[in-house]
């Protein structure tokens, strides 16, 4: 999107927000929005009218605002409810990310024990073993595509083992995950995504049947036990929660590992500083989360009660979408916001969200990134980008900031 086009746009569409062209120039566009149009109109097809939020303070306020709901059933009357866009929508959307209190609290409680600090630390040796094993495979070649060879397999192996899912199925999850996060109401995309989601539902049904027969000490077995108690979890909620844990359990971390490595490759001084001072790793991870936020845009929130923001009435049923990427580059909060600084102080980024829906797996993502990047720098100290940084392409995707690939030589 050129500067001329940006100035002439009055309403952004879903297809524009999802385009590669938008991803390439998003940070400059967000900068203009923060200055002059912090509440920007969106046209979201079947979802109706929406607003894009770009400033940090607005994001913090709205992420906690009880007038905004994640479950559209808490906003629309029975007569107003939109028809399902996908046949398999009901089987995959009854999870905690699409719920409001008290349902959200109930669903989150069922899984949060698996993501406590103590439980996450117990995974450290396992994650280290996975990182070393993946590098063992590529190191003799002196080359790898970080996404396919390292950043994707590491978290998908971890979450698969936590859930008790056969590792041979992990490539299927990659395709299904993309269908889930690929927000689009284009007819041909809807049809393709619905087919893929149908495959996912069939897989979950088969997996749950097997786990019912042969329960184990994994997280899916624990969720099935909760479902059997009746009031804890419905069948639709069970499938939806498994789906969410699979998708959220790796998508964000893939992008965190990849985007952080890319930022280091593009900022040689910071890369060298981290190599010389590995104790800066935790700070570097927080800066990577801020600088190239793995989740660029939040999932939708529905307005349950009208309110005024920046002199504009936000009406009931309007959609609110918050740019975490823009909020994390807000100049009023982050000095020199467009500078990648691994020693940044008071880094109050919201890459993992804020409020009730703060990412349950944030600690796991941080640990996976710490081990992945530390191991990569230790074992491949001469690593460098293969090709020019301008050749790297961001995926056309609504929710995520994700590179298609990241070729590295060492």
pLDDT band at 183 (very low <50, low <70, confident <90, very high): low
Record the tokens describing residue 69, joined without a space.
């709901």
What's the rounded mean pLDDT across residues 299-316?
Answer: 96
pLDDT digits (tens, 9 = 90+) for 278-300: 999 999 999 999 999 999 999 99
Ordered by start, the domain boundaries in the chain are 3-409
Query: Residue 229 above 80 pLDDT?
Result: no
Pairing of strands 12-13, 39-43: parallel
| 302 CB neighbour count, 10 Å cutoff | 23
CB 337 within 8 A of CB 119: no
Angle formed at CA 356 by CA 351 and CA 308, multiple of 5 degrees:
85
Contacts of 193 (CB under 8 A, 6+ apart): 86, 179, 180, 182, 184
CB 267 within 8 A of CB 372: no
pLDDT digits (tens, 9 = 90+) for 237-261: 888 999 999 888 899 999 999 999 9
CB 182 within 8 A of CB 193: yes
pLDDT band at 83 (very low <50, low <70, confident <90, very high): low
pLDDT digits (tens, 9 = 90+) for 43-59: 988 888 999 999 999 99
Rounded to whole angstroms, the Cα distance separating 232 from 103 reads 10
Record the tokens describing residue 273, joined without a space.
């500083």
CATH assignment of 3-409, among 3.40.50.720, 1.10.630.10, 3.40.190.10, 1.10.10.10: 1.10.630.10
pLDDT of the residue at 7: 45
| 384 CB neighbour count, 10 Å cutoff | 12
């Amino acid at each position: 999107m050129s500067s001329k086009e940006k100035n002439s746009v009055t309403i952004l569409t879903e297809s524009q927000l999802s385009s590669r062209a938008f991803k390439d120039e998003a940070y400059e566009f967000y900068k203009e929005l923060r200055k002059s149009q912090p509440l920007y109109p969106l046209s979201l097809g079947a979802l109706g009218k929406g607003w894009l939020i770009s400033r940090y303070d607005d994001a913090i306020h709205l992420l906690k605002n009880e007038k905004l709901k994640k479950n559209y059933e808490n906003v629309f009357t029975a007569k107003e409810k939109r028809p399902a866009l996908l046949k398999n929508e009901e089987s995959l959307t009854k999870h905690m990310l699409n719920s409001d209190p008290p349902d959200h609290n109930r669903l989150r409680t069922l899984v949060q024990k698996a993501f406590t600090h103590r439980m996450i630390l117990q995974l450290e040796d396992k994650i280290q073993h996975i990182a070393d094993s993946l590098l063992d495979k590529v190191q003799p070649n002196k080359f790898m595509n970080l996404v396919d060879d390292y950043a994707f397999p590491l978290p998908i192996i971890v979450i698969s083992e936590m859930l008790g899912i056969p590792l041979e199925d992990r490539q299927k999850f990659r395709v299904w995950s993309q269908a889930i996060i690929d927000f689009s109401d284009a007819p041909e995309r809807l049809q393709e995504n619905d087919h893929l989601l149908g495959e996912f539902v069939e897989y979950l049904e088969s997996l749950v049947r097997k786990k019912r027969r042969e329960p184990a000490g994994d997280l899916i077995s624990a969720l099935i036990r909760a479902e059997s108690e009746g009031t804890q979890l419905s069948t639709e909620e069970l499938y939806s929660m498994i789906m969410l844990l699979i998708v959220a359990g790796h998508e964000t971390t893939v992008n965190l590992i990849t985007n952080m490595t890319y930022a280091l490759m593009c900022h040689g001084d910071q890369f060298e500083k981290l190599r010389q001072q590995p104790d800066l790793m935790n700070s570097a991870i927080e800066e990577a989360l801020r600088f190239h936020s793995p989740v660029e845009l939040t999932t939708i929130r529905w307005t349950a009660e009208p309110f005024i923001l920046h002199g504009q009435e936000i009406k009931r049923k309007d959609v609110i979408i918050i740019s975490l990427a823009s909020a994390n580059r807000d100049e009023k909060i982050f000095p020199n916001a467009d500078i990648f600084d691994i020693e940044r102080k008071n880094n109050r980024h919201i890459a993992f969200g804020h409020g009730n829906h703060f990412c349950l797996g944030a600690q796991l993502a941080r640990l996976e990134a710490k081990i992945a990047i530390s191991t990569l720098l230790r074992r491949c100290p001469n690593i460098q980008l293969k090709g020019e940084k301008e050749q790297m392409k961001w995926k056309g995707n609504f929710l995520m900031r994700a590179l298609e690939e990241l070729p590295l030589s060492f």
